[in-house]
Structure 1
């Protein structure tokens, strides 16, 4: 059944949903989680694959055709390729992507591609083993790079994007090595500005190494040429002037792209969030488990999305960091 396009109260058509399949993670990245981790959701609180499939199917019938699986770390969710196959076969789902820290990618890359995952983003914040350990609190860089290579060996997986968070005092020395990495491999490296979603709540605007600062540092050594910006894209993408590779910058703090935002998020416990920085959520798990039909779920979704925030207000006085951290929301 095809339903009316999902649209918010500001006239933006919603076409993208980020689905968190778990709040658990096998890393403890400093910009996301405390060293001792966080209290995990109980198993019965997490949406089943069938529940995720039903909600994604409903959203897809309303024109939300782009689906990205996130966590926590999505690959710690058992049998994830089965969910990927279920979603990829759902009418209206046009694109299925995955964001991962790459630790389990070597084991699962082929199965995920075979299940229909179209695009992959792999988070790597340093190419130096000791610095990777310092930021993630896990000595896992060699295993992550093996997973990345296993993925790159599969033609259907491209393009592969590598995400690095831009943190002042850390990323300055990573910029040129990552630029070389992008030139030597068939990966698009993207720098993402550090956002106020850390569990320690120690974020400060002064910690944000802006995309423009990183771009300028890279361009001093490797001239860049801007690529045309795709509609709804969060990244400013450049190609190296000599044609060897691409690099991108996602600047939600210094250059918010809220006016063009077409995203909503579904948390692992079935809450609908209309912005990464939402202070409120809409429960879909409760009505789903209480027997609501698709028409009733549609009414709940449309009412929530109609109230979608105009912008995130990170740079404005009085900004309030959401209670949930990035690992609990889903990136």
Structure 2
């Protein structure tokens, strides 16, 4: 590192990559990548209005999906860089029938300390026991309403009972798993349910995260006035819970709060209005094997051709260096647009 504390990098090669002399995966601004979000499919069993159109077509058929062996190899290389945390996303990752195997593979890699999963929960009852046995440490459960009719309006599917029952099942495992409930708030749709979700934290050590709408919704509702920003979410919470106490959270959950008498916490994820770029330590890999250093990157780095052509680990490392080196200092204000039009194409 230099005197500023930033990672010292070797001169860029013709590809523009930067190799860090200490063997870590850091970008040109000294941000160390220690967390990968890996999508295992772009398919989903819901069609949420803030993510996928009903007619959304899957862009990566089975032949273009990363295989179990390819995922294992990628994670092995990333662990060698110091990546410690892996989150499997989608689409809906439980649509991969080998998801427990993927979790087991990841948890077995030296250096990987935490393997987690983001899911809409519809299929969770089928896999939870095998996921726990495989080494899963944390689950983010996405649910935006406790109202059956509203669930149908948001997801375009009549699967509320399964999602609700599976959330209740999951909450029973709060001593074994770190559990977070993701709630995407939309003005005039589900904002009246804030209290209902906060009450999940009263008797269980879970975190409820209220999230802002993002402009990766397959061109559906981003410009319809449904956006609800951090400031308004905070005002709503303070009106309902005047005793709300701020606490210092992680980079993503920087805006976290506790309440007297509650075992859990509440967080606001200002995914659009606030800038977390200076603290970003993550890399996304799509289910088709594209490494994306930033949600707002115009392009990613294709890993699948190298994986399938028998490239050695040094070539995979070079591509990952190149992906991370392209990470902008400030993604949202860099004038970029995401690789995919839907979050399912980007990776959760």
Partner of 2:247: 227
Partner of 1:130: 149
1:111-155 CA-to-partner distances (Å, cap 9, x unmatched) read 111111111000001111111111011122221122122222235
CA contact (8 A) 1:171 1:209 kept: no
- 2:115 is matched with which residue: 93, 96, 103? 96
Partner of 1:258: 277
| TM-score in terms of structure 2 length | 0.88
Measured on the aligned residues, the alpha-carbon RMSD in Å equals 2.0
Q: Which runs of 5+ in 1 are unaligned?
A: none
Query: Are positions 1:58 and 2:72 aligned together?
Result: no
CA contact (8 A) 2:293 2:324 kept: yes
Partner of 1:218: 237
Larger mean CA deviation between 300-309 and 170-179 belongs to 170-179
- 2:304 is matched with which residue: 285, 295, 298? 285
Q: Distance in 1 between matches of 2:238 and 2:264?
A: 13
CA contact (8 A) 1:193 1:209 kept: yes
Query: Are positions 1:8 and 2:27 aligned together?
Result: yes
Give the SS at the match of 1:75.
Answer: helix
CA contact (8 A) 1:235 1:251 kept: no
Q: Distance in 1 between matches of 2:224 and 2:36?
A: 28
Q: Distance in 1 between matches of 2:86 and 2:263?
A: 30
Q: How many residues align?
A: 327
Q: Distance in 2 between matches of 1:11 and 1:40?
A: 34
Give the SS at the match of 1:13.
Answer: coil
Give the SS at the match of 1:220.
Answer: helix
Partner of 1:190: 209
Q: Distance in 1 between matches of 2:67 and 2:281?
A: 25
Q: Give the deviation of 1:192 after TM superposition.
A: 0.9
Larger mean CA deviation between 211-220 and 132-141 belongs to 211-220
Q: Distance in 2 between matches of 1:193 and 1:210?
A: 6
Partner of 1:23: 42
Q: Give the deviation of 1:327 after TM superposition.
A: 0.6
- Would the alpha carbon gap of residues 13 and 184 (structure 1) be closer, same or farther in structure 2, given more than 3 Å must change? same
1:67-104 CA-to-partner distances (Å, cap 9, x unmatched) read 00000000001121011101100111111110000000
Q: Distance in 2 between matches of 1:131 and 1:213?
A: 21
Partner of 1:328: 345
Q: Give the deviation of 1:220 after TM superposition.
A: 1.4
Q: Distance in 2 between matches of 1:28 and 1:215?
A: 28
Q: Give the deviation of 1:40 after TM superposition.
A: 4.4
1:263-314 CA-to-partner distances (Å, cap 9, x unmatched) read 1111001010001221101011101111110011111111221111212226
1:208-252 CA-to-partner distances (Å, cap 9, x unmatched) read 21133122212212221112223x334421111334431111002
Q: Distance in 2 between matches of 1:202 and 1:152?
A: 31
Query: Are positions 1:204 and 2:223 aligned together?
Result: yes
Q: Give the deviation of 1:179 after TM superposition.
A: 1.8
Give the SS at the match of 1:174.
Answer: helix
Q: Distance in 1 between matches of 2:275 and 2:115?
A: 25
1:27-62 CA-to-partner distances (Å, cap 9, x unmatched) read 000000012232342211001011001001101110
- Would the alpha carbon gap of residues 267 and 321 (structure 1) be closer, same or farther in structure 2, given more than 3 Å must change? closer
Query: Are positions 1:48 and 2:67 aligned together?
Result: yes
Query: Are positions 1:310 and 2:318 aligned together?
Result: no
Q: Which runs of 5+ in 2 are unaligned?
A: 1-21
Q: Distance in 1 between matches of 2:196 and 2:52?
A: 26
